[in-house]
Chain A
């Protein structure tokens, strides 16, 4: 069972470079999320996609863009990386968004550790 798969697992970027973090889930979930994890701050939501074809900003969207390519895939793009974007990035998916009927348990990928120098 693959669950949620993120690539790459590690990445080092120079300031100003761009990159795309890939995420795919094989659980036929409707909702997908991108979080960043920083020491002492827990997980903060960057963007989410409640269903295929929709995306919305979370708590910390500045400097990021997302694409819900299809039901399985949800990518996160850094157009011009900055040192403040050094973090661990987690993709997650759930059958239904929190607050809606249905299974709102979020399943997480293994994370991408990104360093911007």
Chain B
């Protein structure tokens, strides 16, 4: 069955430090992959997506993610974190195996940023 795992429930970084949020998926073919961010009390906003092509994708707010097929991973990175990046981050997979499919979300990683 398709699944998404975000191993880190909480991460704390200092402002200006680099960030990497992990996402691993279980899927039988090349999935569509997404990262969403949720600020407190808000809905989810798409940061970036991977459908095909270049495995390093750039998103909004200075985020990027790299699709590694051999590791079944789609980790999110940012070279220098800002205090406004404190939020919850969700990785999601879009199945492609026929029919009307849906996004499967990971449990989320809550990011705290220390000044």
Contact = CB atoms under 8 A, between A and B. Distances in A.
B9 A58 contact: no
A108 interface: yes
Interface in A31-72: 31, 33, 35, 40-45, 48, 50, 54, 56, 58
Contacts of A31: 100
A107 B46 CA distance: 8
Interface of A: 4, 31, 33, 35, 40-45, 48, 50, 54, 56, 58, 90, 92, 97-100, 104-111
Interface of B: 4, 6, 9, 32, 34, 36, 41-46, 49, 51, 90, 94-103, 105-108
B111 to A, nearest CB: 15
A98 B106 contact: no
23 contacts: A4-B43, A33-B102, A42-B4, A42-B106, A44-B105, A90-B43, A92-B44, A97-B100, A97-B102, A98-B32, A98-B101, A99-B32, A99-B97, A99-B99, A99-B101, A105-B46, A106-B103, A108-B43, A108-B44, A110-B41, A110-B43, A111-B41, A111-B42
Q: Which applies to chain B's interface (DSSP): helix, strand, loop or mixed?
A: loop
Residue of A4, A35, A54 with highest tally of chain B CB at under 10 A: A35
Contacts of B42: 110-111
A99 B98 CA distance: 7
